[in-house]
Amino acid sequence: MVIVVGGGPAGSSTAFFLAQQGFEVTVLDRARFPRDKTCSEYLSPQASRILEAMNALSEIEQSGAAQLAGMRVHAPNGATIHGEFAADHGFRGYRDRGLAVRRTILDSILLNRARDAGACVEEGVRVTDVIRSADGTVTAPVYVTQGSINSASVPPWPAPALTHYAKITSTNGAPPIVTTDGSNVPGKYNYLGCLEVTASVSQGFLVGLTNALAETVVSQFGDHLIFDRMYVHGVNASSTVQMTRGFLVTGSNISVVNSYVSQIYSSGGDAQAILGAHGPGPYLIQNNFLSASTEIIMFGGTGRTPGYSCTIAASPAPTTTTATVNTCIDFASGAVSTPAVGTCAMFYIGSAYTPANWVCITANSSGALTWSPALPSAPSTGAGKIKYGMVPADITINKNYLYKLPSWNSAVSCVLGLR
Ligand SMILES: Cc1cc2nc3c(=O)[nH]c(=O)nc-3n(C[C@H](O)[C@H](O)[C@H](O)COP(=O)(O)OP(=O)(O)OC[C@H]3O[C@@H](n4cnc5c(N)ncnc54)[C@H](O)[C@@H]3O)c2cc1C
């Protein structure tokens, strides 16, 4: 296999001609095309010969390329040179005219020709090094995808040195660490660090800050919890032992920092290194290596946020800024108060909830609500026509390495080493 690093004109033409000759070629480029490139965008008449050989000339000519009859060069002292490509100097190029075309267009067309010839093109892949055999021969590139690295499906940096880490391994099907009710770890003002956490049987999550997502009021959530230098991991990809989440966090003042989460995957659905469900935050996710087969970090998505709803009275008729509500319930149908001033909510308008028109309650006089900004039209009346709740908020995600093993991407058939 030939690996071409860089999918500019040099890389794509090399890949094209090698692939045409039957070589197995993979092009790796750190950019995603169309990508721009500093250039005067001039193609000489002779360049057209190569473009034609790549079956690209007519597409480039039809792409809006300017036709250049010649060139005029201006020197700082005012002198000029003028030349025509087709003149009585006797030389004729492949075409009588040159071309001027945007590199976003030219380079994309050439890369597509490489693809057409059979080359595999991986965009967003930055080569950082090469691996050599004992005699110095280059055997493989080390490359980075989406900010992370792959060398023979090995994560970018090794798991933490574990000599001094205590290890918790769940073997009975229960998550290794759970806080709040039924917990083995107090869920308020706690610090867990330098722990290896794993399981030998499949888990929905390895570290859970929730009581089965049943929290309905802020006081039930985990609060002021710091996870620092944790090594939370599943096992090598397997159809039978799968960890769907590293951390399942709900709560307030939750930090996951300086930690390493790996081998989190599910063949049956989405998997995340960190799933933040319906706690109010703030959350800090910083300086971690996070690897999972689907979202890697996801907030919401539990189907329970926002979890509260009320009935909107038909009389007085709601307007774009007012409505009267009663009978408010949480997602477990328990009675709760009408939304307090400051609560932000989503109304049902016409035939749907409109999250894009999220508004905040500015006054609540015995269920008579006023909000701002105004909705595009008055909300519908009836049960469940306003929703609100503990939407995860104030989330800081900073300086993390997010990584997916290419082998987890079944849609990519030509990832290095997996073809
Ligand atoms: C100001 C300026 C004006 C110019 N004007 C003209 C002109 O008018 N006509 C002309 O013919 N030439 C012009 N040139 C020269 C022309 O731009 C280059 O000769 C041409 O782009 C070289 O093609 P290339 O494929 O070698 O490199 P590039 O076009 O630079 O492509 C290199 C590719 O490699 C990728 N890459 C780089 N590092 C990595 C990595 N570590 N891992 C993965 N991918 C990587 C990049 O993303 C890029 O897509 C000009 C150059 C400059 C700077």
Tokens 């009320």 -> residue: 310
Characterize 252-280 residue by residue with b for buried, 16 or more Cβ atoms within 10 angstroms of its Cβ, and e for exposed: bbbbbbbbbbbbbbbeeeebbbbbbbbbb
Closest atom, ligand 1, to C-alpha of 100: 8
Q: What's residue 241's pLDDT?
A: 86
Q: What's residue 249's pLDDT?
A: 92
Q: Tell me how crowded residue 214 is: count the other CB atoms within 10 A of its CB.
A: 14
Q: What's residue 143's pLDDT?
A: 63
Ligand 1 centroid, distance to 50 Cα (angstroms):
17
Tell me the best of 40, 127, 149, 150 to mutate to test the pocket of ligand 1, counting ligand atoms within 8 Å of each CB and taking the most: 40
Q: What's residue 126's pLDDT?
A: 84
Closest atom, ligand 1, to C-alpha of 31: 47
Closest Cα to atom 37, ligand 1: which residue? 6
Closest Cα to atom 30, ligand 1: which residue? 8
Closest Cα to atom 41, ligand 1: which residue? 127
Closest atom, ligand 1, to C-alpha of 10: 25
pLDDT tens string, the chain, 419 residues long: the values are 788 999 999 999 999 999 999 998 889 999 989 999 999 999 999 999 999 999 999 999 999 999 999 999 999 999 999 999 998 888 888 999 999 999 999 999 999 999 999 888 888 888 888 878 888 887 776 666 543 433 334 455 566 766 678 999 999 988 999 886 555 566 888 899 989 999 999 999 999 998 777 776 677 788 899 999 999 999 876 667 889 999 999 888 999 999 999 989 887 788 899 999 878 889 999 999 999 888 899 987 665 667 789 999 999 999 999 999 999 998 778 898 999 998 889 999 998 888 788 899 999 999 999 999 999 999 999 999 999 887 787 899 998 988 877 666 555 545 433 33
Which residues have CB under 8 Å from 43's CB, separation 6+? 51, 60, 65, 98, 99, 100, 101, 106
Q: How buried is residue 38: exposed, middle or buried, by Cβ count under 10 Å (0-12/13-18/19+)?
A: exposed
With a Cβ cut-off of 6 Å, ligand 1 is lined by 5-11, 28-31, 35, 37-42, 126-127
pTM (2 d.p.) = 0.52
Closest Cα to atom 18, ligand 1: which residue? 39
* Domain boundaries 1-41+104-154, corresponding CATH code: 3.50.50.60
Ligand 1 centroid, distance to 245 Cα (angstroms):
42
The residue ranges of every structural domain in the chain are 1-41+104-154, 42-101, 166-303+395-408, 308-388
Q: What's residue 102's pLDDT?
A: 96
